[in-house]
Chain A
Amino acid sequence: MSRSIFITTLACVFVTLLATPLQGLLDKANIVMLFLLTVLLVAVKLGRVPAIFASMLSVLLFDVFFVPPRFSLAVSDLQYLVTFAVMLVTGLITAHLASGLKQRAQEALQREQQTQALYRFAGQLAGALTLQQVDELSRVFINEQTGVGSVLLLPAAGQESSLEPVSTTAEFAVEPRLTGQVLRTGQRIHSDQVGRLGYASLYLPLSAPIRVRGVLAIGSDSAEGKEVPVNHGLLDAIAALIAVAVERLHYVQVARNSEISLLGERLRSSILSALSHDLRTPLTALMGLSDSLQLIKPPLPPVALETAQTVHAQAKRLSDVVGNLLDMARLNAGDVHLRKEWQPLEEVIGSSIKLLDSALREHPVRVSLPADLPLLSFDAVLMERVFCNLLENAAKYSAGGRAIEISAHADSEVVVVEVADRGQGLPVTLPREALFEMFQRGETETGIPGVGLGLAICKAIVQAHAGTICAADRDGEGSVFRFTLPIGQPPAIEGED
């Protein structure tokens, strides 16, 4: 400062010395101009305070050396007072404007440097492959730019609402309630009170395009004691950059996970289909070969034929069990690709009855569906399995000649389907829900074949269609299995013109 005052003084003295020999040639007004020029130059070069000093010194020097009587502060002609006043005011205004200009230029320069630093930072973040790298980069950068410490807090794995610091190198603690609030509201929080207690004093949300990804806590490292710059646009910009980087890493992770699960699913499904082929081929051969023994000429003795029939029946039974197990494995593996189509319920009921055919020979099936039942969206092949399993059960557990009844009705959002029999009813020893568990048999000691997968398969299929299934005792005798299917928005059928 003293150096610039010295330079200013020198400049003013120089102008005085320069102007003195020219007194006779130059008008007084032009000498004033020379002084004003000096003030302007000082303001531009040295700033506000030297410029104010220069304008005052100029007025003094002009008065002493140029205004008669010379070498005294006295003024003979009073109009020079106006000159002094104008000179002083002009000088001061010049000083103010010029130095303001200089300050803004400096600020612009600083901003540009910051912007460039942010660019570099953004570039570094773009290359970051892990959250640890993001944390490291941002900690270093924030410290470089503002001299304060920072902690990056992100949701813990699997938990969206509880935040954890990525690393714990900061010298201050983080207030968990404030971070939670910032995460919820997406608004920054600043509190010097908390800061004085050894916590971070500024909490910035990491607002990414999709959602708030975490919190950036800023606090001064107590050793250096540097003030936390509260209203610093730079910190907000840094937080935004970190947020985008964190979100990018999040989606990279999501993409990688879904790729892994896709691979897993593909593997599961190829194992299942290989297994299915390897199990079914010998069973098909076994069934066919035992069947074809009956065609041999000359015919086998009756005992041998009977054996062949038993082999065939057992192979069929085994094949059904294998089929059920594979279906259950498929449904359990989450490998259910529903081929949903809008269709009337009546059709799938008809095809199920036709498919069972011989199993239902002793049980008449009565179907009563209201004519205005809406079309439903379901996978016909799977729904056929549901009906087949329910009908098969009804037939298995009721005496010959007893009818099985299928009915359905719309009930606000869903269609309720019922398969009712006049059989032996539900087992008293089991809770109703347990019937639908895997490998659960109604009566464990009976000779009725099955492994207890039929109802579990029904449940899995109905649930895959966003429906529910339950069993109940029927008034009088027998049991009723009831399941629902959502109605949804059936497509319109254009009439014929």
Chain B
Amino acid sequence: MNAQIQKVLVVEDEPTIRRFVRTMLEDEGHAVIEAGTSAQGLMDAGTRKPDLLLLDLGLPDGNGVELIRDLRAWSDIPVLVLSARNQEQDKIDALDAGADDYLTKPFSVGELRARVRALLRRRGRVGEQATPVIKFGAAEIDLSRRLVTRHAEPVHLTPLEYRLLTALLAQPGKVLTQRNLLREVWGPSYVDSSHYLRVYVGHLRQKLEDDPAQPKYLLTETGVGYRFQP
């Protein structure tokens, strides 16, 4: 791991939640910057240069989604969104605005730790040579040769299936919204035809997962989108 201390900015209006998040992050060896409002958060993100942003979507002084949009204009640090249940649209908006992942309240310290680790690890990996071969489960995808195998047997994917697979694999661990994937794979006129996406993800699971009904790698984020979990 990186020996350098990583800074995490926590934007959350509830001090008690900030407190246990801070405890967890410090236990992990990170430096924590706290902000109670989105204005303060945006300022801190600019001046203190954090490596990760934890953002509560229900801030009193405004929309967390706006903060992400502003931030994305000049920064690509990972953003983990904290939100309540029944706020699928908020999550989607936040992800479309550029957030990387989300956690639904109430969450456990263990979940939060896992997400934070994954995001910081990915950030550490940026700049590394991307490998042309990606493996998950019994499947192996050689991006340079456009070759997909499972248990060393070649698997035939249609062009759209392959394009969808590469779109998912390109951002491991990141939640990709339905609109995002539809636009990328099918084109802008298909953004409302979510059934295409669902059917094709089903095809990919049939061809690549051990148990398509209980996938381990091509995961559904219900009501939001999909995630490739390496």
Q: Is the CB of B84 within 8 A of A276?
A: yes
A291 and B110 within 8 A (CB): yes
Contact of B194 among A276, A282, A343, A350 (CB under 8 A): A343
Report whether B194 and A319 are in contact in the complex, using a CB–CB cutoff of 8 Å. Answer: no
Query: Is A375 a contact partner of B222 (Cβ separation < 8 A)?
Result: no
Cβ contacts A315-349/B at 8 Å (1 or 0 each): 11001000100010010000000010111101111
Instruction: Determine the residue in chain B with the shortest Cβ distance to A273.
Output: B86
Instruction: Tell me, in angstroms, the Cα distance from A490 to B193 when the chains sit together.
Output: 12
Minimum Cβ distance to chain A for residue B159 (Å): 6
Main secondary structure of the interface of A (DSSP, over half): helix
Instruction: Closest A residue to B201 by CB, please name it.
Output: A347
Is A380 within 8 A of B202, CB to CB? no
B215 near A350 with CB under 8 A, answer: yes
Interface members, chain A 198-234 (any B CB < 8 Å): none
Answer whether residue A120 sits at the interface, using C-beta atoms and an 8 A cutoff: no
The reply to whether A292 and B88 form a contact with Cβ atoms under 8 Å apart is no
Question: With A292-B109, A344-B199 known to touch, is A384 a contact of B17 (CB < 8 Å)?
Answer: no
Contact between chains at B106 and A287 (CB < 8 Å): yes
Among A339, A341, A365, the residue within 8 A (CB) of B195 is A341
| Contact of B121 with A by CB under 8 A | no
The smallest C-beta distance from B230 to any residue of chain A, in angstroms, reads 16
- Across the interface, do A288 and B106 meet the contact criterion of CB distance under 8 Å? yes
Q: Give which listed residue, B27, B105, B195, B202, contacts A284 with CB less than 8 A.
A: B105
Bound-complex Cα distance A493 to B219 (A): 22
Tell me which of A316, A367, A493 contacts B196 (CB under 8 A): A493
Does chain A have a CB within 8 A of B16? yes
Most buried by A among B20, B85, B108: B20
A490 and B195 alpha carbons, distance in the complex (Å): 9
Which residues 186-226 of B sit at the A interface, judged by CB distance below 8 A?
A: 193-196, 198-199, 201-202, 212-215, 219-223
Most chain B Cβ neighbours within 10 Å, of A292, A327, A365, A381: A292
Cβ contacts B31-75/A at 8 Å (1 or 0 each): 000000000000000000000000000100000000000000000
Select which of B106, B108, B193, B212 is within 8 A of A346 by beta carbon: B212
Answer whether residue B165 sits at the interface, using C-beta atoms and an 8 A cutoff: no
A349 vs B195: C-alpha distance when bound (angstroms): 16
Instruction: Name the residue in B19, B24, B105 with the highest tally of chain A Cβ atoms < 10 Å from its Cβ.
Output: B105
CB distance from A355 to the nearest CB of B (A): 8
CB <8 Å contact, A375 and B23: no
Q: Is the C-beta of B160 less than 8 angstroms from some C-beta in chain A?
A: yes
Contact present for B17 and A284 (CB under 8 Å): yes
Complex partner residue of B58 from A277, A295, A384, CB under 8 angstroms: A277
Q: Is the CB of B194 within 8 A of A344?
A: no
Per-residue CB contact flags for chain B residues 7-27 toward chain A (1 = under 8 Å, else 0) read 000000010110111011001
Q: Are A289 and B19 in contact (CB under 8 A)?
A: yes
Cβ-based interface call for A137 (8 A): no
B residues in contact with A296, CB < 8 Å: 23
Is the interface on chain B under 10, 10 to 19, 20 to 34, or 35 or more residues?
Answer: 35 or more
Distance, CA A291 to CA B114, complexed state (A): 14
Given contacts A292-B23, A375-B199, A491-B195, contact A339 B219 (CB under 8 A): no
Contact check, B220 vs A351: say whether CB atoms are below 8 A apart.
yes
Q: Are A284 and B199 in contact (CB under 8 A)?
A: no
Interface pair B17/A291, CB less than 8 Å apart: no
Q: What separation, in Å, do the CA atoms of A380 and B14 have in the docked complex? A: 30
- Complex CA gap A343/B225 in Å reads 13
Is the CB–CB distance between A343 and B195 below 8 Å? yes
With an 8 A cutoff between CB atoms, is A70 at the interface?
no
Q: Are A354 and B214 in contact (CB under 8 A)?
A: yes
Residues of B within 8 A of A496 (CB): 158-160
Residue A285, interface by CB 8 Å? yes
On whether the beta carbons of A354 and B107 are closer than 8 Å, the reply is no
Q: How far is the CB of A159 from chain B (nearest CB, A)?
A: 39
Decide if A351 touches B84 in the complex (CB within 8 Å).
Answer: no
Knowing A339-B223, A341-B195, A384-B222 touch, does A280 contact B23 (C-beta < 8 A)?
no
Q: Is the CB of B195 within 8 A of A367?
A: no
- Smallest CB-CB separation from A327: which chain B residue? B86
Q: A295-B24, A342-B194, A346-B212 are in contact. Are A281 and B17 (CB under 8 A)?
A: yes
Minimum-distance CB pairs A-B, first 3:
A285-B16, A288-B20, A284-B106
Given A344-B199, A350-B214, 16 more pairs with CB closer than 8 A: A282-B16, A284-B107, A285-B14, A296-B23, A323-B85, A341-B195, A346-B212, A347-B220, A348-B220, A350-B213, A354-B214, A354-B219, A355-B222, A384-B222, A384-B223, A491-B193
Interface residues of A (CB under 8 A from B): 273, 276-277, 280-285, 287-289, 291-292, 294-297, 312, 315-316, 319, 323, 327, 330, 339, 341-344, 346-351, 353-355, 365, 367, 369, 375, 379-381, 384, 490-491, 493, 496
A–B complex contacts, Cβ < 8 Å, 6 sampled:
A285-B17, A287-B106, A288-B107, A346-B202, A365-B214, A496-B160
